[in-house]
Amino acid sequence: MTNPDIVIIGSGIGGATILMLERGEKLPTTPHTRDTRAIFVDGHYRPKEMWREAGGAAFNPGNYYYVGGNSKFYGAVLIRYRRQDFSAMEHYGGVSPAWPFSYEEFEPWYSKAEQLFRVRGALGEDPTEPFHSIPYAFGPVPDEPPIARARAELKGLGLHPASLPLGVDIDAWLKDGKTGWDAFPNTGAGKVDAQTGPLAAALADRNVELETGAHVEYLEASSDVRTIAAVHYRQNGTLKKVTPKLVILSAGAVNSAVILLRSPSPDGKGLANRSDQVGRNFMNHNSSAMLAIDPRRRNTSVYQKTLMLNDYYLSDGKGGKPLGNVQLLGKIDGHILRANVRLAPKFALDFMAGHAVDWYLMCEDLPDPESRIMVDGKDIVMQWRRSNMQSLDGLTKVMRENFRACGYPIVLSRPFDKRTPSHQCGTVKMGDDPATSPLDPFCR
């Protein structure tokens, strides 16, 4: 298909003939698929590429190139932004700007997305949950006994633990292997990701075609630089091009910016970049893993990830500024800990993992024009200036106190570093002012 009506770049979360270009291939089922050592210690699925920090240090990013993108490895959590998120909100590190539309305008599209991803969840448990015009089609994934106990313990503190909305068919997932799904590759039908959900539905239409191994290198503008005349991509070592009527660039926050910056333009700054904002305002949640450990009780959970806590999402719980969201991680084991604590003896890591309930603390990062993605020849350069770390510090403190009050005498935490840009956003922001936003509210 060389002259489609529409070209979509990237197959992650994103009548005419439509061609999708995906740089990766489909994930095969192999002995590594459910092997925690291969995934977390050996980095079997990590990309064979290096990015650079602005200071020059190279690192291997946790950015996955397969059909379905990063969603092939995601935790399948599909939480709606809260109504307040669409308005300007004051955080400890500054202001999170208002969106150019309201939650009410966006809400019908949330409902459509939840249907495509076959989300399982429950309404009425979380006081921060906004209005749903359509309820979840499926009930929540059930808590395993140790997690049901953790839910009851948190309720006993007066908190409001709630079921995570998940794109998971738990029976289908466990049929293929008794592991969690969080950060595991999805090669079957158990996790509803961008490939097994909306992409599979789209490809059922005979006018939609997917080309894999198609690495888009740059976009060619029309003579008046108002539209895209051609998409140039490399496939099996050969440079090819297509000439669509419409291009949808959905290659992730980092690579979408990279493609625009590498595309020829009259001013040499890249396409859609008169504002000099392409690549800027890079954000990635400030997050930490927290292990609540009770040496007297084993955690026999297999998948674990069914619970969240938003009591500190809109405020610190005392009328102060927001802290963040707390949710369960997929169940860790000694190999997963070994990936982060290389020198500890394996028996100690196994004991720790077997007696821990594993949590994920997630706080806002705020837009900063100097936090940005750049290109230097063939290199991708990431200058991530973290902001609002006070919220993560505050959330860590209050949750450590809560877990100790629940009877976990040992509570350990560790922030995630720059090697994990899986919550990347920003870089090509939308807005009403073309001087500060490359895109309008319709992402054009």
128-162: pLDDT as tens digits: 999 999 999 999 999 999 999 999 999 999 999 99
pLDDT category, 9, cuts 50, 70, 90? Answer: confident
Tokens representing 137 are: 């089609």
As a whole number, the mean pLDDT across the chain is: 94
State the distance between the two ends of the chain, measured CA to CA, in whole angstroms: 24
> Is 269 within 8 Å of 113 (Cβ atoms)?
no
Q: In whole angstroms, what is the distance from residue 301 CA to residue 62 CA?
A: 26
pTM for this model (two decimals): 0.94
Asked whether the predicted pLDDT for residue 361 surpasses 60, the reply is yes
206-265: pLDDT as tens digits: 999 999 999 999 999 999 999 999 999 999 999 999 999 999 999 999 999 999 999 999
183-196: pLDDT as tens digits: 999 999 899 999 99
> Is 362 within 8 Å of 287 (Cβ atoms)?
yes
Q: Is the dihedral of CA 96, 362, 64, 376 positive or negative?
A: positive
- Provide the 8-state DSSP code for 41: I
Question: How are the residues of the chain apportioned to helix, strand and coil, as percentages rounded to the nearest 5?
Answer: 20, 25, 55
> Is 167 within 8 Å of 323 (Cβ atoms)?
no
CA distances from residue 224 to 266, 300, 385, 436 in whole angstroms, order as listed:
10, 63, 36, 22
Q: In whole angstroms, what is the distance from residue 326 CA to residue 226 CA?
A: 44
Checking 399-402 for CB contacts under 8 A at 24+ apart, the result is 399/290, 399/326, 399/359, 399/361, 400/290, 402/154, 402/157, 402/159
CA distances from residue 350 to 133, 251, 353, 444 in whole angstroms, order as listed:
45, 38, 5, 50
pLDDT of amino acid 283: 95
> Is 394 within 8 Å of 316 (Cβ atoms)?
yes
CA distances from residue 414 to 38, 303, 439 in whole angstroms, order as listed:
22, 21, 36
Q: In whole angstroms, what is the distance from residue 251 CA to residue 260 CA?
A: 11
Structural domain spans, the chain: 28-65+75-192+280-427
Pairing of strands 214-221, 356-363: unpaired
> Is 250 within 8 Å of 256 (Cβ atoms)?
yes
Could you give the percent of the chain with pLDDT greater than 90? 89
Q: In whole angstroms, what is the distance from residue 438 CA to residue 412 CA?
A: 42
